[in-house]
Amino acid sequence: MVIKMNMNKTHECFGKHVRVTLNTGQVFEGVGEYYTSALDNPDGIASICVGDYELYENEIVNVDIVTQGAIPA
């Protein structure tokens, strides 16, 4: 199951399995880690790390929270 997210709620990705699509078409999937608010980021743009990548909110066009389905019996 995939849950669509509003872009101004990037902080809600923290600790969840996400699929992030950038305006370049690149897609990153993994656990959302290390959310940094715009106030705390030297660039003044909120960001979240997925894997080894810091993704800036102004580059993100879509975020899906990916939930695991039930394990088949």
pTM: 0.74
- The answer to whether position 71 is within a domain reads no
Q: What integer pLDDT is reported at residue 3 of this predicted model? A: 44
The CATH number of the domain holding residue 30 is: 2.30.30.100
- The answer to whether position 6 is within a domain reads yes
- The answer to whether position 72 is within a domain reads no
Task: For the chain, give the longest Cα–Cα distance.
Answer: 49
Amino acid, single-letter form, for residue 21: T
Q: What integer pLDDT is reported at residue 26 of this predicted model? A: 96
**Mean pLDDT taken over the chain:** 79
Q: What integer pLDDT is reported at residue 9 of this predicted model? A: 63
**How confident is the chain (73 residues) per 10-residue block, as mean pLDDT?**
51 82 94 85 88 90 74 42
Name the 3-class secondary structure at 32.
strand
Domain enclosing residue 30, as ranges: 2-66
Q: How many domains does the chain have?
A: 1
- The answer to whether position 26 is within a domain reads yes
